[in-house]
Amino acid sequence: MRIAVLHLVHETVTFLPNETTVDDFIYEGSPAKGEALLQIGPKSYMGGFVKVAREHHDVELTGIESPLEPKTGIGSGWVTNEAYELFVGKMIEELKAQGPFDGVFLALHGAMAVTGVARPEAELARRVREVIGPCAYIAATFDPHGNEDEAFLQAADLAFTVKYYPHYDAYLQGTRAARTLIRAIKGEYKPTHASRKVPLITPTVIQWTGGPAWMSLINRALTWEALEPDLYINIFFGFPWADVPDAGMFVQVTTNGDPELAAEVVEEMSRFIWRKKDELISSTTIVSIPEAVAAAAQASKEGSFPVVIADHSDRSGNATWILAEVQRQGASDTLFATITDARTLDQVQERKLAVGDPFDFAVGGLVDPSAGVPVNIRGSILHVPKLRGRDGGRLPFVVVGFGNNNALIVSRYLTQVKPNFELAAR
């Protein structure tokens, strides 16, 4: 059994002014192919897929040259048509050159937005199908923030979407993708689907599956999967920061040769979500910035810490409203992660500023009216990182101490601060 492995991932905020270009996908380690591609993310989709595939001694994996996540991370807008066509074009050529294949694994996200390509993941699956033919199988993994519709499974056979937010189960979904793809190739699993768009677009800040409203959707899906062997449910929460035709919630159900069961379950799940919509939408209380900063300062005074002030714009970093408010209220012991300001970092680098040197810059803001204006920060440098290969000679961030024991991380790109799950579990 020969299975090709491809990777194409981006969560595109189409409202950001900076495009995601060819250059953003090219850095030390990216594009990756062969064993290097198979080794990215040992605890993520890829790791789960490779682990299970390699438990089958009759399976051979081929890592097709693929770009990894762009160096802008999640902090860039529309992927240019040039970038998409260049990398997808190379993938298709390599698939042709190295084929034939019995199956293809696509490691995807689902919220990539490409200029001139309405449904980039479905379009990739369609082009892969043209190469591998109607008898081979295509399986993919997705992030629940993907924006998808019927188009993907019209071209592909299997999709496995992470259920939890934060995304604890990426590795698990990778293992399911491998196991089910291999069963399909062997003729033991005949994928049949039903899917449904649920007319809801929700901000990511309310989608936490640790709370009762969103967890109830996951429990419902897990209950169906527990009841019905070989049934898989994907709930795409959708990614609202992309202005694309398939934005919003979407439910997919896949069964083993039982289209009636798939149709029944997708109907039941969509109705359940719709009944819950008021609860889902009001699952998180959102307060004003002055209230949030004052509440955090009070909690800290009472010894209740750490306190997290979450900027629910989702791509925090450009906006300086919270930074300005902390200064205005004279708050202490606050860590800002992060304010994005490439120009300031270039100057820090140019002047060769080191730990202990004074820092006096106006940082952040100015990207658009929602980002506010730059805020003057006077303090000293606490940390300058050593440059890594993928930084391309440019300082990725610097840590500055200021005010009453406050610290600010200035980053080159918009950065999503993620928990360290292993540390959190301990």
> Interface residues with Zn ion (CB under 5 A)?
143, 145
CB nearest Zn ion: which residue? 145
Q: Is 261 helix (H, G, I), strand (E, B) or coil?
A: helix
Based on CB atoms, which residue is closest to Zn ion, 131 or 251?
251
Minimal distance, residue 143 CB to Zn ion, in Å: 4
Based on CB atoms, which residue is closest to Zn ion, 189 or 241?
241
Helix axes 321-329, 289-301, angle to 10 degrees: 50
Minimal distance, residue 381 CB to Zn ion, in Å: 33
Based on CB atoms, which residue is closest to Zn ion, 210 or 369?
210
Minimal distance, residue 69 CB to Zn ion, in Å: 12
How many angstroms separate the CA atoms of 372 and 416, rounded?
19
| Closest-CA residue to 412 (of 341, 363, 355) | 341
Neighbours of 253 (CB within 10 A): 29
| Closest-CA residue to 78 (of 151, 21, 36) | 21
Based on CB atoms, which residue is closest to Zn ion, 162 or 398?
162
Alpha helix locations (H) across 228-319? 259-275, 277-281, 289-301
Minimal distance, residue 27 CB to Zn ion, in Å: 22
Minimal distance, residue 419 CB to Zn ion, in Å: 13
Minimal distance, residue 145 CB to Zn ion, in Å: 4
Q: Which residue has the tokens 């260049």?
A: 86
Cis status, amide bond into 100, omega within 30 of 0: yes
CB 333 within 8 A of CB 404: yes
Based on CB atoms, which residue is closest to Zn ion, 7 or 145?
145
CB 295 within 8 A of CB 287: yes
Cross-strand bridge partners of residue 5? 63, 105
Based on CB atoms, which residue is closest to Zn ion, 143 or 314?
143
How many angstroms separate the CA atoms of 397 and 341, rounded?
9
Minimal distance, residue 281 CB to Zn ion, in Å: 19
Question: Which of 139-154 are b and which e, b meaning 16 or more Cβ less than 10 Å from the residue's Cβ?
Answer: bbbbbbbbbbbbbbbe
Based on CB atoms, which residue is closest to Zn ion, 31 or 144?
144
Minimal distance, residue 144 CB to Zn ion, in Å: 6
Minimal distance, residue 121 CB to Zn ion, in Å: 14
Based on CB atoms, which residue is closest to Zn ion, 137 or 239?
239
- Per-residue H/E/C for 59-126: CEEEECCECCCCCCCCCCCCECHHHHHHHHHHHHHHHHHHCCCCEEEEEECCCCCECCECCHHHHHHH
Based on CB atoms, which residue is closest to Zn ion, 156 or 170?
170
Tokens of 153: 């499974």
